[in-house]
Structure 1
Amino acid sequence: MTGARGHRRPGAAATAVLCAVTAAGLYGCSGPGPSEHPPSPTPAPATPPATTPPATTPPAGTSPLTGRPARSGPVLAVKIDNVPAARPHTGLAAADLVYVEQVESGQTRLMGVYSSRLPDRVGPVRSARESDLALLRQFGRPVLAYSGAQGALTPLLRAAPLHLVHEGGTPAAFRRDPRRTAPHNLYLRPVRALATAPDATRARDIGFRFGPAPADGTPVNSRTVRFPAARYTFTWAPAAKAWHVAMDGRPDGPLAPATVVVQHVTVRPSRFHDFLGAVSPYTVTTGSGTAEVLRDGRAHPARWSRPDPDRGTVFTIPAGARLNFAPGQVWVLLTGTAP
């Protein structure tokens, strides 16, 4: 794994503060009934009901993707290989946000989203999928770095609000590692990739809120999330205040997100297939559904909502208030498996 280095850019304008009001329990008193004597006053509860801390938009000088102090630079999304031969990954620990998506044969692929800082290299880089088009619209017009795509998908990629960076069109932004075998040896140079798109959209609000955890939640030491042919285990590390990541039972370097979101979505067949004829799945990231948010050693049931593909995803507790994430790297696993 290569280390990340700071990368400063001009800050975004300060955002307005938006408070979410928690739905608290209501306690009422009845008036005297038809009986001769009025009832005794209802005693006050021994302890106040639990409340959820209000969620606010990240303040100026804070990344809307991590909740940490940072300069919000242009958004770079990188499609990253994730079969066993592609591990360990390079540069993934520097990502602000990591999506896990299902691809052919039940395998998974990662999408690392970078803005706060850039590593020297990221990879191994692999091909794009149709699901990426809707998922990336919430970022405005970001840079998408990928190894290529099948011919039928290429016109859709070119028509999407994306700055496309791939080996065939921008070879200087990539390099091959001779110590690895193809196709698991292609790596991106993020600085060179961003230099090709000076007007790429900077990081903006995509629905995440950061702050104190909800008052409830179930203590959990580890959680395993399964895809048809892959599994991810997140183990809570109190000293690091983060979740250590293992893929298919093996740790992958210093990956340690502060928040893990297991987002239950619809995964259906798409109209595309790979070169072997396997149908590519399409992950639906708009609509609404259930989720589980892991933070601070606890699991919180949640709801997600994204009615508009041009906007981000809102996560709430079952009572309706916004659910705060822990500041730091966020992983979102888009799983079609039953909760």
Structure 2
Amino acid sequence: MRPIEVLAKGPKFLGVFHYKAANGRGLHGRRLPTLTAVFLIIALCLVAITAGCGKDKSSSESGSPGDGAGNEPGPSPAVTEPAGGTKTGGARPQDYGSGTGEDEGRDAEGDIAMPREPVEPLEGAVLVVVENLPSARPQSGLDKADVVYEADVVAGITRFLAVYYSEGAPKIGPVRSVRKFLVEIAHAYNSPVAHAGGNADALKLIKSLKGFKDMDEIFNSGAFFWRDNTRKKPHNLYTSTNLLQKGAKKKGYALVVPPPLPTTNKETAETLSSPSAPAEEASHIRIPFSEKADTKNVVEYRFEDGAYKRFINGKPHLMRDGSPIQPENVAVLFVETKEEWGDDPQLINKVIGSGKALFFSGGRVHNGSWNKSGSRSHFVFTLNDGEPMLFLPGKTWIEIVDRSLDVTYE
């Protein structure tokens, strides 16, 4: 009898079943009668067909980066959630939301639950972790954030932490998992942080931080997110400032207005220079997070009409509604990083400490440094002459990069 292998893939919670019948032998190597082996093979084929028919294709979309050219990623690993509350199973379980359909405002004709109510004024800050895989673009709502932090999380793929406190957004996302260094940044804001799970380091840190205002779609706040069925999982999880404010009130989280970055007016900004901290003209910034073909992520900012228009791989970085990203200020922070290539690959960004920085504002660049004394402390930005960096009023994007990355400007 020829060796026969049957592979049956069921829904994620069923896992993967792998049976072999070779030369008439059973699972433990004992010889089976030929008729018994035949019946066993037929039964296993029926299991494979039944499991395959019952599978929900939308639940198996991968969180992997794909080839960077818009091609669909492969199947997802199985994900389980044991009683202890830590997600297990598969290499990247932190990347999957619940998708249970329990959110408010579910559409009767589909899974598009975007609330249609007017955007309410913000009573304080809310923070959201947003992904930046090619399959996640175009995103929604990043253009409305007051401050956005961007950093490499693995292999040049970046993730955002968007901070909203002066302008609301009706749709923000796709929301994705948090990382430890993003928790360390977010903690200083003492405000609700929206995300969809996280890796082990991040979830452990959140649990250890007393009073951390956690809004995790997977574990404790699913009602304040929705999935947009016009996009594929896991790149279709969204929230809004309205929902996050509603969720914060329900969970008893106080909304706090953060201290603004030190600012100045345009006239003063043009004289913000000294012999020990000279400013230079700089209308173009290039930040090559990755130049590899399969994960290419080259960010540029071009200063035009008083703002830094953002580009990715040579194309304008637009939101899903067509809105451009064009902050008034850009800061580049050089940090120590460490790669980890285990079951959950990641790039660790050490954001507690100090390092060199470049500050771009008003078409000029200033050399200086950053300092962050702990997770409860905000970044402090200082020029080389010891004076605080003064930014122009408006939105600010903060790029966190490896200290050896070749960031150029002209």
What TM bracket, shorter-length normalisation? 0.7 to 0.9
* 1:175 to 2:226 alignment: yes
2: CA distance, partners of 1:287 / 1:326: 25
1: CA distance, partners of 2:204 / 2:377: 23
Q: Residue by residue, what CA displacement relative to the aligned partner does 1:144-186 show, whole Å, maximum 9, x if unpaired?
A: 1112224564343233242222323322211111111111111
* 1:219 to 2:281 alignment: yes
Q: Residue by residue, what CA displacement relative to the aligned partner does 1:234-278 show, whole Å, maximum 9, x if unpaired?
A: 00012xx110001222211211100000111111246x95xxx24
Q: How many residues align?
A: 267
Report if aligned partners of 1:226, 1:337 keep a CA contact under 8 Å in 2.
no
Report if aligned partners of 1:139, 1:201 keep a CA contact under 8 Å in 2.
no
Q: 2:256 aligns with which of 202, 219, 237?
A: 202
> 1:146 — aligned with what?
195
> 2:376 — aligned with what?
310
2: CA distance, partners of 1:114 / 1:333: 17
1:318 offset after TM fit, Å? 0.9
What are the residue-to-residue correspondences of 1:46-65 with 2, within 5 Å? none
1: CA distance, partners of 2:359 / 2:338: 24
> 2:388 — aligned with what?
322
Structure 2: unaligned runs, 5 residues or longer: 1-114, 319-323
Report if aligned partners of 1:173, 1:190 keep a CA contact under 8 Å in 2.
no
Instruction: Give the match's secondary structure for 1:148.
Output: coil
Q: 2:327 aligns with which of 247, 257, 276?
A: 257
1:222 offset after TM fit, Å? 0.9
What is the identity percentage for the equivalent residue pairs of Structure 1 and Structure 2?
25
> 2:308 — aligned with what?
243
Aligned partner of 1:245: which letter?
Answer: R
Report if aligned partners of 1:295, 1:326 keep a CA contact under 8 Å in 2.
yes
Compute the RMSD of aligned alpha carbons: 2.4
Instruction: Give the match's secondary structure for 1:265.
Output: strand
2: CA distance, partners of 1:121 / 1:179: 14
Structure 1: unaligned runs, 5 residues or longer: 10-72
> 2:298 — aligned with what?
231
> 1:8 — aligned with what?
121
Instruction: Give the match's secondary structure for 2:155.
Output: helix
**Taking structure 1 as the reference length, what is the TM-score of the superposition?**
0.73
Specify whether residues 152 and 330 from structure 1 end up closer, same or farther in structure 2 by C-alpha distance, changes over 3 A only. closer
1: CA distance, partners of 2:403 / 2:137: 24
**Taking structure 2 as the reference length, what is the TM-score of the superposition?**
0.61
2: CA distance, partners of 1:303 / 1:223: 18
Q: 1:116 aligns with which of 153, 157, 166?
A: 166
Instruction: Give the match's secondary structure for 1:267.
Output: strand
2: CA distance, partners of 1:189 / 1:173: 8
2: CA distance, partners of 1:307 / 1:109: 23
> 1:27 — aligned with what?
none
Higher RCO structure, 1 or 2 (CA under 8 Å, sep 6+): 1
Report if aligned partners of 1:80, 1:110 keep a CA contact under 8 Å in 2.
yes
> 1:101 — aligned with what?
151
Report if aligned partners of 1:135, 1:285 keep a CA contact under 8 Å in 2.
yes
